[in-house]
Amino acid sequence: MERLLKSDKDCILVAESANDNKVVGMCTIQTLISTAEGGQVGLLEDLIVAAGFRHQGIGSKLLAEAVYWAECQGLKRLQLLADKNNLPALGFYKNQVWLSTELVCLRKP
Ligand SMILES: CC(C)(COP(=O)(O)OP(=O)(O)OC[C@H]1O[C@@H](n2cnc3c(N)ncnc32)[C@H](O)[C@@H]1OP(=O)(O)O)[C@@H](O)C(=O)NCCC(=O)NCCS
pTM greater than the 0.85 cutoff: yes
Q: Is residue 105 part of a domain?
A: no
- Classify residue 70: in a domain, yes or no: yes
Residue 90 placed within a domain: no
The pLDDT, as a whole number, for residue 88 is: 96
Looking at residue 26, its pLDDT comes to: 98
Any ligand 1 atom below 6 A from CB of 57: yes
Q: How far is the CA of 9 from the centre of ligand 1 (A)?
A: 27
By most ligand atoms within 8 Å of CB, the mutation choice from 24, 54, 79, 100 for ligand 1 is: 54
For 46, the domain range is: 2-81
Supply the pLDDT for residue 32: 98
Q: Is residue 103 part of a domain?
A: no
User: For the domain that residue 9 is a member of, what is the CATH number?
Assistant: 3.40.630.30
Give yes or no for residue 64 CB within 6 A of ligand 1: no
Q: Quote the pLDDT of residue 42.
A: 98
User: Would you put residue 52 in left (φ > 0), alpha (ψ -120 to 50) or beta?
Assistant: alpha
Convert 56-89 to b/e letters by CB count within 10 Å (16 or more is b): eebbeebbebbbebbeeeebeebebebeeeeeee
Identify the DSSP state of 99: P
Please give the tally of structural domains in the chain: 1
- pLDDT given at position 92: 98
- Asked if residue 33 belongs to a domain, the reply is yes
Confirm whether 102 is domain-assigned: no
Closest ligand 1 atom number to CA of residue 27 = 3
Centre of ligand 1 to C-alpha 54, Å, is: 6
pLDDT per position as a tens digit, 11-70: 999 999 999 999 999 999 999 999 999 999 999 999 999 999 999 999 999 999 999 999
Evaluate whether residue 93 is within a structural domain: no
48 inside domain: yes
Report pLDDT digits (tens) over 66-107: 999 999 999 999 999 999 999 999 999 999 999 999 999 999
